[in-house]
């Protein structure tokens, strides 16, 4: 048991520079507490003890501010950072090594009972703060969801999705075995990536072009005004025959 806790703490330390020790994780990390309680509620749910499992999950929500349905499948080394306001639905699946920030919803968009209604996150997925991942689709291994994104369609492995509705702005080859213990130099906190949103790039160019044209038009008007004044002054001083 201690080895599992230590392994989990090392996985958190690799993704959180504020982490100082195993004890820091055990006593101060609500994401750790939420998943630990979920490990109790989840088998009870599948054993048919639905009322007890939901009651335990409600205490989890009260203590941590994180709501994980007892039916959800949570992989190993999943890190819920800060965590307040995170909601993970009944049929959601979260792969090994995923990182989820505060305010994230893994929600469903249908009311069909017994159906797969919530998303599946592959291994090593990063979901930025305030993101909404809604529907029964898959987010591929190593994908990144930028903060505030609203994702309603599948995201390919290694891709980055941003915006509302979410757009794919880049794609990398995911690691065959995502690193969860050793420090990760490729980790992108909050799903922030160096790739630029192409839509934002186009809008910036349009804005810059419009500003440049406005300056040119102003210069043209100044030139026309000068020519007009010269013509008027020349007409006023000219002598008759």
Regarding whether 110 and 12 lie in a shared domain, the answer is: yes
Mean pLDDT over the full length of the chain: 85
More confident residue, 209 or 105: 105
Q: Which of 195, 210, 226 is the last residue of a domain?
A: 195
* Percent of the chain with pLDDT strictly greater than 90: 52
The per-residue pLDDT for 176 is: 45
The per-residue pLDDT for 187 is: 61
The per-residue pLDDT for 181 is: 45
Regarding whether 114 and 217 lie in a shared domain, the answer is: no
Regarding whether 70 and 160 lie in a shared domain, the answer is: yes
CATH number at residue 61: 2.160.10.10
Yes or no: say if 106 and 119 are a contact pair by the CB < 8 Å rule.
yes
* Model confidence at 24: pLDDT above 60: yes
Regarding whether 204 and 172 lie in a shared domain, the answer is: no
Q: Which of 179, 195, 211 is the last residue of a domain?
A: 195
Regarding whether 216 and 133 lie in a shared domain, the answer is: no
Confidence of residue 195 (pLDDT cuts 50, 70, 90): low
Regarding whether 145 and 223 lie in a shared domain, the answer is: no
For 110-114, 172-176, 225-229, 235-239, which range has the lowest pLDDT when averaged over its residues?
A: 235-239
Taking the alpha carbons of 40, 42, 46, 51 in that order, is the dihedral positive or negative?
A: positive
* Model confidence at 34: pLDDT above 50: yes
Domain range enclosing 234: 196-241
Regarding whether 202 and 107 lie in a shared domain, the answer is: no
- Where would I find the H helices in 65-168? none
Per-position DSSP letters for 29-83, written without gaps between them: -HHHHHHHHHHHHHHHHHTT-HHHHHHHHHHHHHHHS-EE-TTSEE-TT-EE-S-
Rg (CA), the chain: 27
Confidence of residue 60 (pLDDT cuts 50, 70, 90): very high
* Percent of the chain with pLDDT strictly greater than 70: 83
In whole angstroms, how far apart are CA 20 and each of 26, 102, 126, 183? Answer: 11, 21, 22, 14
For 157-161, 162-166, 197-201, which range has the lowest pLDDT when averaged over its residues?
A: 197-201
* DSSP secondary structure letter of residue 189: G
106/92 Cα distance (integer angstroms):
7
Regarding whether 177 and 202 lie in a shared domain, the answer is: no
Q: What value does the mean pLDDT take over residues 24-29? A: 89
Regarding whether 224 and 113 lie in a shared domain, the answer is: no
In whole angstroms, how far apart are CA 65 and each of 5, 154, 223? Answer: 21, 28, 65
For 43-52, 104-113, 184-193, which range has the lowest pLDDT when averaged over its residues?
A: 184-193
Regarding whether 155 and 206 lie in a shared domain, the answer is: no
Regarding whether 166 and 63 lie in a shared domain, the answer is: yes
Confidence of residue 172 (pLDDT cuts 50, 70, 90): low
The per-residue pLDDT for 180 is: 45
**Cis ω before 165 (30° cut-off from 0):** yes
Would you tell me how many other CB atoms lie within 10 Å of the CB of residue 49? 15
Number of structural domains (the chain) is 2
Query: Quick check: pTM over 0.75?
Result: no
Helix (H, G, I), strand (E, B) or coil at 201: helix
Helix (H, G, I), strand (E, B) or coil at 164: coil
Q: What value does the mean pLDDT take over residues 72-99? A: 94
Regarding whether 184 and 202 lie in a shared domain, the answer is: no
């Amino acid at each position: 048991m201690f080895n599992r806790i230590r392994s989990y703490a090392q996985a958190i330390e690799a993704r959180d520079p504020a982490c100082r020790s195993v004890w820091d994780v055990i006593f101060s990390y609500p994401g750790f507490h939420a998943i630990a309680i979920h490990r109790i509620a989840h088998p009870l749910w599948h054993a048919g003890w639905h009322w007890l499992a939901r009651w335990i999950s409600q205490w989890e929500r009260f203590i941590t501010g994180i709501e994980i349905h007892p039916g959800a499948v949570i992989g190993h080394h999943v890190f819920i950072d800060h965590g307040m306001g995170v909601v993970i639905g009944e049929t959601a699946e979260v792969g090994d090594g995923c990182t989820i920030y505060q305010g994230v919803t893994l929600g469903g968009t249908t009311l069909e009972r017994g159906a797969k209604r919530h998303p599946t996150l592959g291994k090593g997925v990063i979901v930025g703060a305030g993101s909404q991942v809604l529907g029964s689709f898959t987010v591929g291994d190593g994908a990144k969801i930028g903060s505030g994104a609203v994702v309603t369609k599948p995201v390919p492995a290694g891709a980055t999705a941003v915006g509302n509705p979410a757009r794919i702005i880049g794609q990398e080859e995911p690691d065959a075995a995502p690193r969860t213990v050793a420090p990760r130099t490729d980790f992108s906190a909050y799903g922030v990536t160096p790739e630029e949103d192409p839509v934002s790039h186009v809008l910036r160019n349009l804005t810059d072009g419009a500003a440049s044209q406005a300056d040119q038009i102003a210069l043209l008007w100044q030139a026309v005004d000068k020519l007009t004044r010269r013509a008027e002054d020349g007409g006023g001083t000219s002598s008759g025959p």
